[in-house]
Amino acid sequence: MKAGVTTIQDLIAAKLRLAGCVGFSLLAISCGATGPDASDLKHDADAPIRNSEVSNWALVSDAEYKTYISPLLGLGDNFLADSHEISVRSQFWVDAIDSNLRRRYPAKLANVPKPVARIISNPSVNAFIAPVPVCVNATVKLGSGTGSQVETIYFDQGSGGFGSWPAQYDCRDEGQTSTEVLSGLVKSFNAANRTNCKLTLTTERGVSTVAADSGCSRDSDVAGVGRAKRLAFMRTAAVVNIYTGLLTAMETEESFIGVIAHELGHYYRSHITTDDDFYGFFYEMSEHNDDHRPVRGNAAIQALGQKAQLASRAIGGTSSYFKSVSAQKFSSKVYLGIGSFAQDTCAAGTCPAACTELVTFMSGEAHQSATAMFPFRDLSAAGRQSYATFETKATACLGAVAMSTTTWDKLLRKVAVPTWPAWIDRGNYRETINKIQGGIIQFLPRSTPAGTSTVADAFAAMTKDLNAVEARSIIDLKTAFDKRIGQYTAEQEADDASAEWLTHLHIDPKFAGDTQMDLGKWIASKGADKSMPLDIGYVECERVRKNGWRREDGAYQYIAIGDYDEVHHGFCYRAFNVDREIKAHSYRVDPAGARPQPGGPSWARLKELAEQATEAAAPAPIDNSAAAILRKLQGRQCPLAPVLVRK
C-alpha cells in the first residue's frame, strides 16, 4: 500500500472496526456469559489447548482450501507460492512455535494437526484462522423429529443452533467415516454448552444419528424441519492465513512473530469450535491482572458492561465514522440522506423552487470538489464554507416540503441507502456507505415524531435523536471506564498465549505488546487511532507505555478498552493488557536459551517483497449471495477484510 494515498478505503475501511480487527482475527467469536467454573478455558500457562477432541481441527489440502474455504470467506486466488520468501519465513516461525509446543506437551497435541502458513496478496493488515465446512452422512433429528426433511442442515457449535446450509457453498464430504469426529463434536459441545441444548449420538448398523433436544434453537428458515440426511458444521482448518499487508505494518520481525503466535493461540485453542458462552463476559479490573482467566463479575458489573456494549454499538457502528462541522444544524449522519431526498424530489417533478436551487448547488463541481468524501473526511476551510451554504439551502428546501407528501419510512431509507453524491458509486464504495448508513437508522424512531410537519422538521428530529444517543453512549462508556469494567474475549486469551509462546522461543514477550503498538502506528497513519471516546491515540499510548503505564505524577493509568461491541479491543488497551499479563504470569526469557535463527532475507527485504506482492494483487471478487447462516457466520470475524476493505 502506497503511503500518502487517500481513498475511501483509507478513510472508512480503517474504521470498519479494522481499528479493532486489523490483524489477529478469527471466525467463531460471539458475546456471551460464563461462570468462574470454566477452568478448562482460562489461560493458565502450560495449557495450549481446550480439549483434545479430533473434531476441533482438520487438515486441508490446497485444493480443499480453494474449494471450501476461499468461497466461504470471499477470497480470490491471490496466494503466494510455498517457496516464496515470505511463505518460507512465515512457515519457519509457525514450525518453531509448533515444535516447541509438541516438545512440551506431546500428549495434549497428539490430535492437533501441524499448521501451515498461507500468504495472501492483499493490502489488509490482517491475519486469521479460518474454518473448513464439513458434512457428515448422519441422520439428524431435531426435537421430536416431526416436520419436513432436508438434505443438509448446519449446526452452529458456538450458539447451539441449527440453520439451512446454502447450496452455493460446498462442504467437505466426510462420508460415514467420521464417527470419531462426530463423537468428539457431541462430547465437546455437551461438555461446554451452558444452554438447554444437548446432542445425542447413536450408531446402529453403521448409520449414525445425531439427535438434538428441544432446547436447541433453529433459524426461521428451518423452523419446520424435523430431520436431515447430513450434518454440516465447522472445524478449524490447520492453516495460519496472513495478508501481505500485515508485513508492511509490522516494524520488526519480532512483532510479526507475535502475530503468528497470537493466531496460533486461536488455532490450538480452536476458538472456532468454542461455545459462545465462554467469552464476552464482563469483570472488574484491578491494578494487576490475575494469573488466570478473569472471573465473571456480578450482576451489577454485567449490567454496566452491557450498557457499555450498547454504547459502543451506537458509537462504533455510526459516530466513529463521521466528521462534524462546527455549529451544523443537521447531523453529518443524515447529510447524504438530505441530498438524496432533494435530488429524488426534483427528479420526480415535484420540486419547489428552493429545492431546485439546492440541487443545482449541491450537484455543482465547486461543492462536490470542496466536500468530496464528506462526511467521512474532515473539510478544508473552503469545504466548511460550502457545507454551510448547503445547510442554508437545505433548510429552505426541506422546509418547503410537507411531510404529508412523503413518509417517515421513505426518509429513513434515504438515510440508510443514499443515492447522492456521485462519488459513492465509485469502485465498491456504495457497499461501504450502505453498511455504515444502514447502521444509523436502528437508533431512530420507527414512526414519525410528534410535531413533524415538514421534511426539515423530520431531519431535525433525526439529528436531535442521534445527538442524544451519542451523548448517552459517551456517558455509559465513561462510567464503564471509571468502574474499571473489563471484557474477556478470545482475543485477550490469544494475546496472552502469544506472550507465553514468544518466551518459549527466547524472544522477549514484550513484543506481543509491540505487535499491538505497530498496529496502532499503522492505524494512526490512517487518522483512526482515536476512533472511540476515551481513546488516547498512538503517541500518548507510546509515551504512557514507556512510563510503565503510569502518569507523570506516578499514578497508575488505566487504558480504556475502546469498543465493547468488538472482540478486538483497542490497540492501546491490548498492549496495556499484554504487559499486565506478562507480569501476572511472570514470563521471562531464559538467558541460557537460544532463539531460533531462520536465515534468509532481512526483515526490511521481506517488507519490500510484501509491498510488491500487495501492489500486484488483483482484487478478490465480492460475493454478496451468502445466505443468512453464512452472514451470521461471517459477522463473527473480521478477516472478511478482503471484502470489508473495499466495502
User: pLDDT, tens digit, for every residue of 462-520?
Assistant: 999 999 999 999 999 999 999 999 999 999 999 999 999 999 999 999 999 999 999 99
Residue 431 confidence (pLDDT): 78
Q: Is residue 334 predicted with pLDDT exceeding 90?
A: yes
The pLDDT of residue 428 is 66
Average pLDDT along the chain = 86
DSSP state of 76: -
Written as nine digits, the cell of 65 is 482450501
> Region 121-128: what's the mean pLDDT?
89
Query: Which of helix, strand or coil describes residue 499?
Result: helix
pLDDT at residue 603 greater than cutoff 60? yes
Q: Answer yes or no: is pLDDT of 633 > 90.
A: no
pLDDT at 77 (0 to 100): 81
Q: What is the pLDDT of residues 377-433, one digit of tens each?
A: 889 999 999 999 999 999 999 999 999 999 999 999 999 999 999 988 876 678 778
Q: What is the rounded CA–CA span in Å between residue 351 and residue 345?
A: 6
Residue 618: the pLDDT is 63
Taking only the tens place, the pLDDT of each residue in 615-625 is 887 655 444 44
CB distance 178 to 199 below 8 Å: no
Summarised one tens digit per residue, pLDDT across range 165-184 is 988 889 999 876 678 899 99
Contact 619, 154 (CB under 8 A): no
Lowest model confidence (mean pLDDT) among 8-17, 265-274, 309-318, 339-348: 8-17
More confident residue, 49 or 25: 49
Average pLDDT on 39-55 reads 69
Query: What's the CA gap between 438 and 317, in Å, rounded?
Result: 10
Query: In Å, how far from its chain's centre is CA 606?
Result: 27
Better-predicted residue by pLDDT, 517 or 434: 517
pLDDT at 45: 62
One-letter amino acid at 606 equals L
CA distances to 333, 344, 384, 385 from 431, rounded to whole Å, are 16, 20, 26, 29
pTM: 0.84
Strand pairing report for 57-58 and 225-243: parallel
**Virtual CA dihedral for 621, 624, 627, 630, nearest 10 degrees?**
60
Quick one: residue 5, left, alpha or beta (phi over 0 = left, psi -120 to 50 = alpha)? beta
**Each residue's pLDDT tens digit, 516-570:** 999 999 988 888 888 889 999 999 999 999 999 999 999 999 999 999 988 889 9
C-alpha grid cell for residue 297?
A: 463479575
Residues 112 and 101: their CA atoms lie apart, in Å, by 11
**Sequential DSSP letters for 187-199:** HHHHHH--SS--E
Closest listed residue to residue 207, CA positions, set 178, 164, 171, 235: 178
Cα end-to-end span (Å), the chain: 17
Look at residue 232 and tell me whether its pLDDT is greater than 50. Answer: yes
Q: What's the CA gap between 307 and 458, in Å, rounded?
A: 28
Q: Report cis status (omega within 30 of 0) of the bond before 166.
A: no
* Four-CA torsion 400, 402, 408, 412, nearest 10 degrees: -20
pLDDT at 436: 86
Dihedral (C-alpha) 397, 399, 404, 409: value to the nearest 10 degrees? 70
DSSP H or E segment with residue 130 = strand 127-136
Whether 435 shows a pLDDT value over 90: the answer reads: no
What is the DSSP secondary-structure string of 525-575?
Answer: HTT-TT-STT--HHHHHHHHHHTTSB-TTS-B-------TTSSS--HHHHH
Residue pair 208/138 in contact (Cβ under 8 Å)? The answer is yes
Question: What mean pLDDT do residues 200-221 have?
Answer: 90
Cell for 504?
518459549
* The three three-digit cell numbers of residue 527, written as one number: 487518522
